[in-house]
Amino acid sequence: MRVAGKLAVAGRSAAPQRPGGIDAAAVRRRLLAWYTRARRDLPWRGSRDPYLVWVSEVMLQQTQVERVREFFLRFTRRFPTVAALAAAREDEVLRLWEGLGYYRRARQLHAAARLVVADHGGEFPRTLEGLRGLPGVGRYTAGAIASIALDVPAPIVEANSRRVIARLAGHDRPVGGAGDEPIWEIAAALVSRTAPGSFNQALMDLGALVCTPDRPLCGRCPLQALCAAQCSGRVAVIPVMVAARPARKIRERALVTRHGDRVLVERRGPGAWWEGLWDFPRVAPAEAKTAEARRLGVVTYTVTHHKVTCGVLERRVRRVTKPGPGQRWVAIGRLGSLAMTAPGRRIAALLARD
């Protein structure tokens, strides 16, 4: 089994003892001792079920831990097993995911659950290669499931562990994307062969609680004496991050077509933001001027490096027309049962207050 470039994780073979100049044995010993007394109490840590580990890790991608807590509990109450998730309708999965964002994760989670049931008899693959064959399961997620649920000494690199490892090694080159390869190599050499799941979770907890991006609590860090960045006074400049792309500003107009207590909604198509979710149609400026509509309000939102200001117009009609492709009429009181986009939900709130 091969991971992190040329470093193997199968079996209990010896790992380099000073990867990146780090005393690996001392890091493992001190970090695991710290984790025993300081670990975060998180709802998904009560089980080593690969399904629950997988759901939590997918939810945690690009989402803060505190926000994930309530979603994880609600989602796993409704879908306690991979078979339950596989049997669900996509609309229901998306509705329960609403508020977490990045809905592609939910669709891939659903697709992967169906694959596990159809091709693996409801049992998760027990190798990194098998796990990475599932939709949406990349290098990090496979390593997290393998180490936490299956005791495979697989490395992980995400925002928190990347920061800890970069500071430990004094790695002062840009990280992220291809720049993470040296970090992956060090992570593979560091990971505990006897307690890989606890070690990887300890790395993440240390980054979240102590080795934070700004004002890290170095005086409380169990690895302070081993940290190259701390010893050389470079904690504030490591890791070196690539500058974020500036946000592009966009203006758009949503048109709420209303007949009595019913409104016209449409499902976002393939390739669109929030693909598969319901929203109110967008109209061009010229169409908005001829729509004989009144201004209902404004909603703003941010999505994939875009800051959007959306003016909301309401047009009342005397009769219900035949909806177009992907559209339907819905009672305002039933909008809450649909899986809607974030701006769609805010527009629905404007309607409820009107």
Distance of CA 54 to the CA centre of its chain: 11
- Residue 272 makes CB contacts below 8 A (sequence gap 6+) with none
Residue 318, both tokens: 């005397």
Residue 284: CB atoms within 10 Å? 9
Is-catalytic flag, 275? Answer: no
Separation CA 75–CA 100 (nearest Å): 11
Q: Which one of 57, 98, 158, 185 is the catalytic residue?
A: 57
Q: Which of 169, 172, 161 is nearest to 210 (CA)?
A: 161
CA atoms within a 13 Å half-sphere pointing along the CA-CB vector of 284: 2
The DSSP-derived string for 129-150 is HHHHTSTT--HHHHHHHHHHHH
Per the listing, tokens 């001027």 go with: 289
The 8-class DSSP code of residue 214 comes to S
Nearest Cα to Cα of residue 227 among 275, 177, 171, 270: 171
Buried/exposed code over 66-97 (b: 16+ C-beta within 10 A; e: otherwise): eebeebbeebbeebeebeebbebeeeebbbbb
Sign for the pseudo-dihedral over CA of 350, 352, 353, 354: positive
Query: Catalytic amino acids?
Result: 57
